[in-house]
Chain A
Amino acid sequence: MQKFIDIRGVKHAYKTKNGLLPVLDGLDVGVGEGEFCAVVGPSGCGKSTLTRLVSGLMRPDEGAVILDGQEVSSPRKTVGMAFQNPVMLEWRTILENVMLPLEIVAPGMGRAEKEARATHLLEMVGLKGFEKKRPSELSGGMRQRASLCRAIVHKPQVLIMDEPFGALDNFTREDLWQTMRDLRAAEPFTCILITHDLRESVFLGDQVIVLSGRPARTQYVLDVDLPADRTIDILYEPKAVAMLHLLREQIRIAQGRDGDLH
């Protein structure tokens, strides 16, 4: 049974001065439509390569990345991306930043319609009243909220996030987890989230995939069997705590395979 996002037997290596550096070797990921997949793994294990493969910015050396029944061979308009760096265009207002993907994906759409869509999203993430501000006038957390709006403004089928909350303080991060949860309830999209934060992966994910050390393969898949309307408190309940322990153990194993990390 083919999943909505189906990554099978993917191998990839980068050319470096000292020859080929394999980063992915035997990566298998399956994400159903509307599902939220969190990916964790040791540093430098090729998680970011995964985002570039799914977005079509790169093609794997071997294996296939299939999205909605079609092999991904080039970028497509149905993908949204968010990074650790909010990548705000400083010369645009927050509203104009959020509207950017629409200018590419839907050039025929009227300005009023674009504005309405962007304004609606900004209101959902709590940035009402900041539409006309410049990015430099906002805090890091607010910029990241705007960046999330920009990633989904064109209603992508797939949202790919590469450690979007990595540079934020803990409380801001938890706020944004809840924002993410609410966005998902309002806007259906399939999501791949790369993260270093196990609590984040359990709070947001429907499944958590643990990658091994470099070259990365799929080491472990955890089904997060928690209700969709989670609150932060759930992370302190025995069921979630057990999952966190399990993931922690898997990460330890993943690190062990890559001897030079210790």
Chain B
Amino acid sequence: MDRAQKILVPLAAIVIFLVLWEFVVWVNGWPDYKMAAPSDLPPAFWKFHTLFLTMGWQTLWRTVLGLALAVVFGTFLGMVMGFSKIARDGLYPLLVGFNAIPKATLVPVIALIFIGQHDFNTVLMAFLISFFPIAVSVGIGLSTLEPEYRDILAALGASKFTIFRKIALPKTLPEFFGALKVAVTLAFIGTNLVEIVSPHGKGLGALFLSGQTNSDYPLMFAVLIALAVLGIVLYYAVVALEKIFAGWAERSPG
């Protein structure tokens, strides 16, 4: 019952959403260049299904690679900021300032610095847009570690590294995964920014753009849905990892 509910409820929600969408388009009598209906999408997917597979894969691997870099660098930065108040005071304004820059404006800058390196630029943008929440949450998790947690090992003469490995790191995992869920969707935005603003015929963003150029509006909507599906898949991959590594943090209700 519980398991069935976990799958059926989200599925039902999606079906209801699609029915409502279809209904709104039908009631208003919108043509597909104004708003495509869900029933327009399967033909669009079928017509370009090989493109969806190859370009979807391009988007996916570049997003995941950027995200992986963000995890490594964000965790490292978070550790530095979590353990050193000087680093925290020095880095925060820089980080916040960098994060406040709309990343779309960085696409042409990056494209000019690394001309023609499309894969590299895309991964770089996915990374740049998604490391911030990871760094901040790891930093906060480490800097708010209660002194008693440190003291139970420090009083035995344990090294700083041992305290980090046995206590600080696992204790920060729930915050880390919370940030990773935000970072996943951000990384997708980063990948698609480059694919759309600086197109090289690669990725779902380029497919979206070609739908626009060819006035194939159902294709554009189909790309958006494909992006949403990829986002959901990656998100639940993170949830699965969280269950494995930080499942202890989840309390049964009541």
Using a CB-CB cutoff of 8 Å, which residues 126-170 of chain B contact chain A? 146, 148-149, 151-158, 162, 166-167, 170
Verify B157–A83 contact, CB threshold 8 A. Answer: no
CB nearest neighbor in B for A82? B152
Q: Is the interface of B mostly helix, strand, loop or mixed?
A: helix
User: How far is A56 from B158 in the complex, measured between Cα atoms in Å?
Assistant: 12
Within 8 Å of chain A (Cβ to Cβ): is B33?
no
User: How far is A119 from B167 in the complex, measured between Cα atoms in Å?
Assistant: 22
Chain B interfacial residues counted at CB < 8 A: 21
Verify B148–A85 contact, CB threshold 8 A. Answer: yes
Q: Which residues of A contact B151 (CB under 8 A)?
A: 55, 57, 81, 83
Verify B248–A91 contact, CB threshold 8 A. Answer: yes
Q: Which residues of B contact A85 (CB under 8 A)?
A: 146, 148
Question: With contacts A89-B167, A89-B171, A100-B166 known, is A79 near B155, CB below 8 A?
Answer: yes
Question: With contacts A85-B146, A91-B170 known, is A104 near B156, CB below 8 A?
Answer: yes
CB nearest neighbor in B for A81? B155
Chain A interfacial residues counted at CB < 8 A: 25
Within 8 Å of chain B (Cβ to Cβ): is A252?
no
0/1 string, A60-88, CB within 8 A of B gives 1: 00000000000000111101010101010
Within 8 Å of chain B (Cβ to Cβ): is A9?
no
Q: Which residues of A contact B155 (CB under 8 A)?
A: 55-57, 75, 79, 81, 160
Question: With contacts A100-B166, A103-B166, A136-B251 known, is A87 near B154, CB below 8 A?
Answer: no
Q: Which residues of B contact A30 (CB under 8 A)?
A: none
B182 to chain A, nearest CB (A): 22
0/1 string, A7-39, CB within 8 A of B gives 1: 000000000000000000000000000000000
Q: Which residues of B contact A103 (CB under 8 A)?
A: 166
User: How far is A158 from B156 in the complex, measured between Cα atoms in Å?
Assistant: 12
User: How far is A55 from B155 in the complex, measured between Cα atoms in Å?
Assistant: 6
Within 8 Å of chain B (Cβ to Cβ): is A196?
no
Q: Looking at the complex, which one of B157, B166, B248 makes contact with A90 (CB distance below 8 Å)? A: B248
Within 8 Å of chain B (Cβ to Cβ): is A134?
yes
CB nearest neighbor in B for A136? B251
User: How far is A55 from B149 in the complex, measured between Cα atoms in Å?
Assistant: 15
A5 to chain B, nearest CB (A): 15
Using a CB-CB cutoff of 8 Å, which residues 236-254 of chain B contact chain A? 246, 248-249, 251
Which 7 A-B pairs have CB atoms at the shortest separation, nearest pair first?
A75-B157, A91-B248, A55-B155, A87-B148, A104-B156, A104-B158, A81-B155
A residues contacting B by CB (< 8 A) are 55-57, 74-77, 79, 81, 83, 85, 87, 89-91, 100-101, 103-105, 134, 136, 150, 154, 160
B residues contacting A by CB (< 8 A) are 146, 148-149, 151-158, 162, 166-167, 170-171, 173, 246, 248-249, 251
